[in-house]
Every structure is written in structure tokens, then in C-alpha cells.
Amino acid sequence: MSKPIETSSGHRGLDLAEPLIFELDGPGRCGVDLPEPDAVTNRLGGLERQAAIGLPGLSEPQVVRHFVRLSRNNFAIDAGLYPLGSCTMKHNPRLNEKVARLPGFADLHPMQPMETVQGALELIDTLAEWLCALTGMSAIAMSPAAGAHGELCGLMCIRAALEAKGDARQVVLVPTSAHGTNPATAAICGYRIEEIPADDRGRVDLAALKEKLGPHVAAIMLTNPNTCGLFETQIVEIAEAVHAAGAYFYCDGANFNAIVGKVRPGDLGIDCMHLNLHKTFSTPHGGGGPGSGPVVLAEALAPYAPLPMVVRGADGLELVEHKSEALGTAASFGRLKGFHGQMGMFVRALAFILSHGADGLRQVSEDAVLNANYVLARLQDLLTLSFPGPCMHEALFDDRFLQGTGVSTLDFAKAMIDEGFHPMTMYFPLVVSGAMLIEPTESESKDSLDQFIATMRHLAERARQGDAGYFAGAPHLAPYRRLNETQAARQPVLRWRPAVQEAAE
């Protein structure tokens, strides 16, 4: 590699170096114009702030420039293929952003009188109906704020239902390939976790599962399609065995994009499942949220659903916010969060659903599965496929093809960055060595996939040709070189501090 050119400003063409906002402080400067407050005798009860807060002062153009410069250091789905397995990085239509900002949705206070928010309740109710229809389930809890929050909601329904029967059970079964949130959630619900191994086809080992089942098992948490990108072929038998043991079947719906419009989870015998609206239904990931994780429920679990819920009353739609015998919410396990749910995400998800319709959603899953299988077919001779296809919406490879090259999955992923692609999910699931989980989604064209495939083939060949040094140094062309994560964890610096204070400490 040639030595990078040094510049005197620290900027590198369009790659503009940007300090922390605190380092841009001009005391007394302000980016908003506010009226002078009237002088009043304050009513702060003697608790007026005395000390300075320490916030920096900037004008509006400085603030705008700061955040625009920061933004340019991010990869984004709008800029290129983002094949993060299990994350469903699909196109985020801008219509959805526009309608979410309509004052009749965005400028509603959550505690306005019911008669002034009928349109908003109608939106929640309409989305709820679509989600129940698409999953073939009879009830839904809309308030969970994200997938993991939905898992919590589902397991709490299960625990409440079991306790209502006086049936205390202690164990939740989780496959070794599960998302880490599954065991973490089960632990919060007071359950002990037992793992179920995968068989050599990447599916739950049904015999091992049956051995683990018994009167102590409250539920199984299973992702389907699973985290290896495969449909659980024996899912109906799994459901039967789970139900025969008196346990419930929780399905992690993170991978619903593979089957939306093609398969209704309710037809497979599941009892509850969360839907990540920020995956299948395209609400933007926003750099890590906000998400939304409604949970569909079978009839047996519906009475335990969290508050609030929308019901149709005599005077129109109504939010039930408290336990009530009359309204059928007496058995609810309680409230999970403030107010009513992720309204802004609901609007975007419904816009996505109405745009696609029943036919378009079916095409979504077909194209998502087609794209993943196309990648699988075109890479399986060079990369090592973990389990034979067909896959669903994501293709799982592992690092056996890198054996003896000195290149790791991590190195390979970082080299993809130089080629203009976001890396796939790596080292997950844990059931294969050096996992590379590729989910292209339905948003990618054939041309885009062909370019990605050609790049992956090029990198695989380059790795085999013994160019480990190149990979170890990657990324070479990203805004930043590899960051030292060990240092960050050993000596955590989690905030900025002014230089003078540092000297004083």
C-alpha cells in the first residue's frame, strides 16, 4: 500500500474531520432565538440550578455542519447493499416518513380525550388487523417497543397463563442457535434456561427436544425460519410435542420477512410471536432504533396481554388503560411501558403494508428468498455453505473455506468494507465456526447482487491466494481504520470531559 497523503487541515477531500461538539464551544453562542422570559417570582422551591451545565454554544449553521459531517462517516442502506443477516436491512420508503409526520399522528398528545384521537386509534386497530391476518393469529399486543421487548411480553403472557392455572414451571428451552435476547428474556421472567442442540441439518434436534420436555417446561423459544436461515421442517411436530407436554410455543419472529404472505405462523401451531416492525415492515433502523415489537397471541394467551389495548366500544374506538372485568382485561399481566406503543412506527409500517398489499407482501418474501438462494447458488463453490439449501431469506456460510489462509471471518468482513459493501452478520449464529450470515432482502436488484457476488468471489480467491496481510490491514479505504475495541473496554471513556477538569482530577 502506498503511504496516505497527509493534508494540513486534517480533512481528506470530502472526508471532513470533525471534532466533538463540545470542542466547538463558543461561550454565549446559541442556535435558537427565544423570547426573553418575563421576570417572575420563581416557584422552584429553592431548588434553582446554581452550577453551569457545561453545554457548548453553537449557531445553527455550525450545528448543521457538525451533524452533516458526522453523517458522512456512516454506511447506510440508502447508499449500498447492507446484507446483515437477521437484521433485514431493506429499503425505507420516504412516503412512510412523510405520513408519519402528519399532524394527525405526530402532533397528538397520548393523553388527549379519546374522542379527539379516533384517527390514531383507527390506525393502530387497522395495523393490528393486518398483523393478525398475516400471521393467522387471533389477538395482538401492540405496545412492546422492540423485538426483545416483544419477547418479554410473550413470555410474560405465557407465565401469567400458567400461573393462572396454578401450574408453576421453571424452565424455558432455547436452541443453541438462538438470538442472545431469548435466554436473556427468559431469565428476566424468572425461568431457568436449557439449551437444545441443533441436528446436522441445522434444525432443532426433535429427539433431543422431546427428551428435554416435561412438566417442568413452560415454553420453547424458537426462531422460524431459524438463525441458520432455514425453515424448521419439523415445526408442526415440535408444536405438537410442546403442547402435549403442557408447554407453550414462543416463536421469535425476527425472520418473518422470509414467509410474510406465504405462511401464517398460526397454521404451524405457535402460541405467540413478536414481529419486528423495523425488519419485515421497513420502519427505519435509525442507527439502533426506535423499533417496535407487537406480539401476536393465540386465544389461550390473549386474556393476559399487556395494557393498554384498543377496543371497539359504543362511542367508537377506545383505549383500555386499566384492568377491568367488564372489558376483559382483568387478567392482563400489566403495563410494559409508558403510554400506548410506538405510534410513529405503526404509521410507517401500515404505509408499507398498504403500499404492498396482500399480493406485494407475498412477492416480498418470494423475492427475499429468491435473492438469498441466488447468492447461495453463486457462492457455494467458493465459500463453505454450512447446511445444504435451499435457504430461506438468508444464506449461512462459515469459515472453513478460509482454513489455512490466515484470514479470519473478521478480516474478510473488513475487506468487504473497502469494496463498498457493509459486511454480513458475522460470528452469529454460534453453531458454526466463523459464521457469515448474508441477508440481501427483496430490495436488491439482480445487478446489485451480481456485483456483490463478483466481489465476494474475488475476495475469496484473494484469500486463498495467500494475501493475508491485505486482509489483516483492512479496511484500508474506510473513513477509519480498525478500531481498538480492547482498549475501549479495558479503560472505558464513556463521555467527554473538559481538559481543565481532567488536569484537576
Which residues in 93-122 contact other proteins (CB under 8 A)?
93, 95, 97-99, 101-113, 115-120, 122
Residues 207-226 that bind other proteins (CB under 8 A): none
Q: How far is the CB of 203 from other proteins (least distance, A)?
A: 9
Q: Is 42 in the site for other proteins (CB under 8 A)?
A: yes
In the list 289, 311, 406, 467, the residue contacting other proteins (rule: CB under 8 A) is 289
Q: How far is the CB of 232 from other proteins (least distance, A)?
A: 8
Residues 423-452 that bind other proteins (CB under 8 A): 423, 428, 442-446, 448
Phi/psi for 491 (5° steps) reads -125, 80
Q: Which of 128, 154, 340 is nearest to 253 (CA)?
A: 154
Q: Report the residue number, 115 or 404, with the smaller CB distance to other proteins.
A: 115
Separation of alpha carbons 125 and 432, rounded Å: 42
Q: How far is the CB of 150 from other proteins (least distance, A)?
A: 10
Please say whether the beta carbons of 195 and 180 come within 8 A: no
Say if strands 192-196 and 171-175 run parallel, antiparallel, or are unpaired. parallel
Q: Is 267 in the site for other proteins (CB under 8 A)?
A: yes
Q: Which stretch binds other proteins (CB under 8 A): 206-214, 297-305, 395-403, 474-482?
A: 474-482
Q: Report the residue number, 39 or 404, with the smaller CB distance to other proteins.
A: 39
Q: How far is the CB of 404 from other proteins (least distance, A)?
A: 25
Residues 59-78 that bind other proteins (CB under 8 A): 60, 63-64, 66-68, 70-78
Q: How far is the CB of 375 from other proteins (least distance, A)?
A: 10
Q: Is 244 in the site for other proteins (CB under 8 A)?
A: no
Q: Report the residue number, 85 or 401, with the smaller CB distance to other proteins.
A: 85
In the list 128, 137, 179, 227, the residue contacting other proteins (rule: CB under 8 A) is 179
Q: Is 319 left (phi over 0), alpha (psi -120 to 50) or beta?
A: beta
Separation of alpha carbons 14 and 26, rounded Å: 25
Q: Is 405 in the site for other proteins (CB under 8 A)?
A: no
Element (H, E) at 426: strand 425-426
Q: Report the residue number, 94 or 458, with the smaller CB distance to other proteins.
A: 94
Element (H, E) at 70: helix 60-71
Lay out the sheet containing 384-385: strands in order across: 384-385, 395-398, 436-438, 425-426
Of the CA atoms within 13 Å of residue 262, those in its CB half-sphere come to 17
Per-residue b or e along 39-71, where b marks 16 or more CB atoms closer than 10 Å to that residue's CB: eeeeeeeeeeeeeeeeebebeeeeeeebeeeee
Phi/psi for 116 (5° steps) reads -95, 0
Q: Is 464 in the site for other proteins (CB under 8 A)?
A: no
Q: Which of 185, 391, 369, 440 is nearest to 295 (CA)?
A: 185
Q: Report the residue number, 289 or 406, with the smaller CB distance to other proteins.
A: 289
CA distances from 291 to 60, 144, 206, 277, 286 (A): 29, 9, 33, 7, 9
Phi/psi for 259 (5° steps) reads -130, 0
Residues 123-162 that bind other proteins (CB under 8 A): 123, 126, 130, 133-134, 145-149, 151-152, 156, 159
Q: Which stretch binds other proteins (CB under 8 A): 30-38, 295-303, 400-408, 460-468?
A: 30-38
Separation of alpha carbons 213 and 232, rounded Å: 18
Q: Report the residue number, 404 or 484, with the smaller CB distance to other proteins.
A: 484
In the list 210, 311, 327, 363, the residue contacting other proteins (rule: CB under 8 A) is 363
Helix axes 409-418, 446-464, angle to 10 degrees: 130
Separation of alpha carbons 226 and 230, rounded Å: 5
Number of residues that bind other proteins (CB under 8 A): 203
Residues 290-349 that bind other proteins (CB under 8 A): 290-292, 306-307, 321-322, 333-345, 347
Q: Is 263 in the site for other proteins (CB under 8 A)?
A: yes
Q: Is 502 in the site for other proteins (CB under 8 A)?
A: no
Q: Report the residue number, 276 or 405, with the smaller CB distance to other proteins.
A: 276
Q: Report the residue number, 2 or 41, with the smaller CB distance to other proteins.
A: 41
In the list 1, 5, 55, 500, the residue contacting other proteins (rule: CB under 8 A) is 55
